[in-house]
Every structure is written in C-alpha cells, then in structure tokens.
Amino acid sequence: MQYRSLGKSGLELSIIGFGASPLGNEFGEADEKESVRAVHYAIEQGISYFDTAPYYGRGLSEERLGKALKGFRDKVILATKVGRYDKNTFDFSAPRVRQSLEESLRRLETDRIDLLQVHDIEFGDREQIVSETLPALLELKTSGQVRAISITGYPLHHLKTVAEAFPEIDAILSYCHYNLLDTAMDDVLTPYAQEKALGLINASPLHMRALTQQGAPDWHPAPKKVIQKAREAAALCQAQGADLARLVMQFALQHPYVSSTLVGMNTVEQVKQNLATLEDATHQELLKEVKTLLAPVHNSHWTEGRPEYNDPGAVPKGS
C-alpha cells in the first residue's frame, strides 16, 4: 500500500480509500457480517482511510462502521460529514453541525473524527456555508474533536469558489470527475489544490457504478447517452477478457496528485479486486480503445443542487 499526505493537514491517507456508503445499503442490501469482514481485511491490507456520512443509510453506515472499527480505531483515518441527512433534508447551520458531530461520534463509537466534511455543498446557500458552516467546523478543529476539515460536492467551479472564500479548509472531495468518462477535475480543481497545497480526494472513480460490468443502477443521474457508452465500454472489455472497473481503477490510481481514490466497498472480494489494481500492469491498448469509445460523451455533466451553482453545460439528471 502507498500513502500520501492530505495537503498540509498532517494526515496520511492510503491511496485507496474505503467508501462506506454501501454499508448503509445505498447500493442494495449489505450483509453486516460480511461488511465487518471487509473492513477488517481492508485494514489488514493497509487501507487506512475510511469515509462515511450520516446520510448513508440514515446513520446505518456510521453504526456498522463503528462496530467494525472496535479495536482498530487507532489504525485508521476516519472521515464523516455534516449537512446532509436525507435525500432532500439539509441543514448547514452551526448548531446542527455541532449536534451532527455528537451524533456521529456516538454512532461511530469514537471520541474524535480525523476528517470532518461539509456534505454536498451545492445544496446549501453559499454565503451560509462560508460564513457559518465552515467556521463551525474550524471551531471543532480548534477544540481538538476534529483533525482536519473539508468540503464535498459535485459542481467543480462551486467547490473551487467556496475553497477560495474559506482558505482554512484542508481538503476538497470531488466525485465522478476523474475517471474514464470525466476528467474535468484536472481542469478546475487540481491546479488550484496544488497551488494551495490542499488535499484532493477523488471519490466515485467508477462513476457511481456506471463503469462496471454490472452497469449503472436505475437511479443514476448521468445522461442516458453516457450510460449507454459505459455499457458499450463494459462489453468491449468483456470481449477482450478484461474487467472495465479494474481498468478504470488503474487509470484513477495513476493520478499524480490525488491524496486518495475513494471507492465504495462492502465485501472482502471487492476489497481484493480494488487492491489487485495496485499490482496489475495497465492494458494500455485496451485503455486507448475505451477512451476512444467514450470520447463522444467525455466530461458530460448533470445538474446537482441549486441551479446557480451548476457547472457550465450541465444537463438535467437522466436526460
């Protein structure tokens, strides 16, 4: 396993991060015992960064992860979030931030959070995020309950704007913006993060499972043409005896600056498959073919959150 600094935060993250949203049944019913085995196996293999949120399973992901981390807490960098609590339930106020942290600490059965993040900032008012939410996180960091603070979301320019307005953050988490379908993160966030020495986390490298042999779930927000091209890419890989998800992970993990690539897992087999990408030689010819196939839909964005914060050219979900 390789490790990288999360900007100037002092935290060292494994380059593969364990996304715990599947523990909250976000992608179908997860077996709790198998989820615990997956967490333990990941730690044994050197994965140190675990990411969850109150939103995932409406607390279930945190509860299951907390149980799994008993006896292992000091071996991991633990991240959770504030601000989003259900599909359409958001509260970015300072009192709710403090209350949310206390609830998360109880569910995770710990006395501290290594990385506390504002969840999906595009659903909140930008002024409130900058003037109330993030200062509340900074107070929690100063108090010692939190070691580092971050923002997360989908629209890239909005993330950058908030980071510029509140330079005290330690990192930015971007999802679905660095993989074989979309590399726009490098156009907007990566240069800024490098300039300011901010940690950069790339989440959902499999484009929320669109870039897998199984394909995207029915609720996937990407444009239909993107989903279709992803299916074609999976078929192309299968015809050559390869696995699309493996190819995508190889590509994502070669990013020279990203602190950690965060992928959802809840079985030992999934952990093994992701770890195997660290040792595989990338099939360069196949990678080139897949990139060519996906080129017509490259960097196709969908709308997310408040309309005024969407990136230029974003189209309605599922259009």
Where in the sequence numbering do the catalytic residues fall?
Answer: 56
Question: What's the CA angle centered on 92, arms 87 and 98, to 5 degrees?
Answer: 110
Question: Phi-psi bin for 70: left (phi > 0), alpha (psi -120 to 50), beta?
Answer: beta
Q: How far is it, in rounded angstroms, from Cα 180 to Cα 131?
A: 36
Among 231, 244, 255, 228, CA closest to 286: 244
Virtual CA dihedral for 212, 213, 217, 223, nearest 10 degrees?
A: 70
Q: Which two tokens stand for residue 274?
A: 């992701």
Phi then psi dihedrals of residue 159, to 5 deg: -60, -45
For residues 233 and 244, the answer to whether their CB atoms sit within 8 Å is yes
Pairing outcome for strands 84-86 and 89-90: antiparallel
Question: What's the CA angle centered on 135, arms 133 and 139, to 5 degrees?
Answer: 120
